[in-house]
Structure 1
């Protein structure tokens, strides 16, 4: 079975699982195959998993079988993206939602030409010269050595070595202008394996705050198997992740606002994280001792 045919069978499986039906036009319009080719794919799927699919002769459409069992592993994030945004590959123009969906508006999107230049630099393992706009340091020309993109949930960042400060930092992609590839190899100290905050993995144990009367509801919300969520994240972005998830990082779960439905049960997990102060309610261990 070719890769292209597997993709079409996965789409049949997806449509049956989440829409309950699929017709030849659905397959033909998604992949640009002829009706005869769509018929062959549907017949092959039916041969492989006859319990999954039933043909409705009155409407000439295939419907989900009563004993359906998915043949493919459909990842929830991708499923929700497809349902809310549609399938898009940049060729067929606009993609439309498959079901009525509402989601928060994206207020910060990188300019595509800037993003493309950064991606090429990461892939080629080359520095880029940029004009960067910083709230605290103003505008400056810099040469950075990027190696990863990071989505914080609010903005896209690029992790890079900054030759101006001789440090590894994260840069907001929307604040970058005029990226130009520098055709030279990065120096040894500029490579990602030397970024301590990037290579260090922080283990976070997230639990319902003790103040909640119905912690079992929070455990249901997050699919907690054993009363907590154990996450492993890079120290460089642990603060952003806790901010994104609205996690109370105070040592005594003191944040009472409704949005804080999770508590970092061991705030000392953030010890040594450079930007830990951005985590909601976080107190440095020294400050906690002085307060006592």
Structure 2
């Protein structure tokens, strides 16, 4: 039976709002090394007295985590600091690079100097909003869509989920015109309208999308031709030499291309950008977009050169 630490028991008894404030204090000390009373007051819109009480509560729970610098009127983290809360790396990086709720819209500022790639393609908010409403409420959408294959057409779709493939966002949806599940790119949509009175048929529901519901486990290993495999093991935290990743079949090809994984059966892709190799390319068998994966060869001979037709 797992034993709960007394500190954790104390944190669990606190109201959710107070835990959020204490987590923010923990974050500031852990990742920025200092904390001011105004950091809490401005972030949560509380008065100075309330911020002082929150800091006092934190000091009561973890007195060894911070020391007051009276000259600068700032609390600093100690060499013995141990975080009270779990901080997910992706959320930490987002907060450090884009702010942590201070400010609105374009006023958000990074917490530390940082650089990240500019998004070349983002969905218009006027298109994103009705699509997200339809997903949340289980509704169909009527829109004008321009595809590489069919040009500009009127469609009715039943959105299932939003997907980020690194270079763009798209929505996974049932296409009533094609009678199947497809990927629709946001920037190719025009005037989406939620259809309030259009019932969703059984075959249009998320449980019927086999590619979406099929989960593939990929075993990624250092590329056999990489000059420093020990560096790859460090980069991807692979203590046993294998990185196991689960992806949906509907997204597998996109993800493997985004990650630059050599998916050739004979690890024939060359270049330092291919740090990892898919140990068993047959794991992708049956994934509709597998041919998007670098070096992938369809084991069905008649399909080897068959291109993936873009939506």
Among 194, 197, 219, the residue aligned to 1:205: 219
Preserved contact between residue 218 and residue 244 of structure 2 (Cα < 8 Å): yes
Residue 220 of structure 1: aligned partner: 234
Aligned residue pairs, count: 291
96 and 89 in structure 1: CA distance in 2 versus 1, 3 angstrom threshold: closer
Where do residues 62-211 of structure 1 align in structure 2 (5 Å cutoff)? 62-88=75-101, 91=104, 94-183=107-196, 184-211=198-225
Distance 1:104 1:201 in 2: 29
Q: Structure 1 residues 141 and 92, CA, compared in 2 at 3 Å: closer, same or farther?
A: closer
Unaligned runs of 5+ in 2: 1-13, 305-311
**Structure 2 counterpart of 1:265, from 279, 293, 297:** 279
Mapping of residues 27-66 of structure 1, within 5 Å: 27-66=40-79
Moved over 2 A (4+): 88-93, 286-290
2-side partners of 1:76 and 1:116: how far apart? 28
Structure 1 gaps of 5+ residues are none
Task: Note the C-alpha offset of 1:263.
Answer: 0.6
> RMSD value over aligned CA atoms?
1.8
- Which residue of 2 is the match for residue 8 of structure 1? 21
Q: Answer yes or no: is the 8 Å Cα contact 2:43–2:101 preserved in 1.
A: no
Q: Identify which range, 96-105 or 20-29, moves more after superposition.
A: 20-29
Q: Aligned equivalents of 1:206 and 1:93: distance in 2?
A: 39
Q: What secondary structure, in the 3-state scheme, does the structure 2 residue paired with 1:116 have?
A: helix
- From the superposition, tell whether residues 156 and 90 of structure 1 become closer, same or farther in structure 2 (CA, over 3 Å): farther
- Taking structure 2 as the reference length, the TM-score comes to 0.90
Once residues 223 and 78 of structure 2 are traced to their aligned partners in structure 1, the CA distance between those partners, rounded to angstroms, is 43
Residues 133-174 of structure 1 show CA distances to partners (whole Å, capped at 9, x for unaligned) of: 112221111000001111111111111100000010111112
Residue 66 (structure 1) shift: 2.4
Write out per-residue CA displacement over residues 83-142 of structure 1, whole angstroms, 9 at most, x where no aligned residue.
Answer: 011123885761100000001111111111211111100011010001111122211110
Distance 1:103-1:117 versus aligned 2 partners, 3 A rule? same
| Secondary structure, counterpart of 2:170 in structure 1 | strand
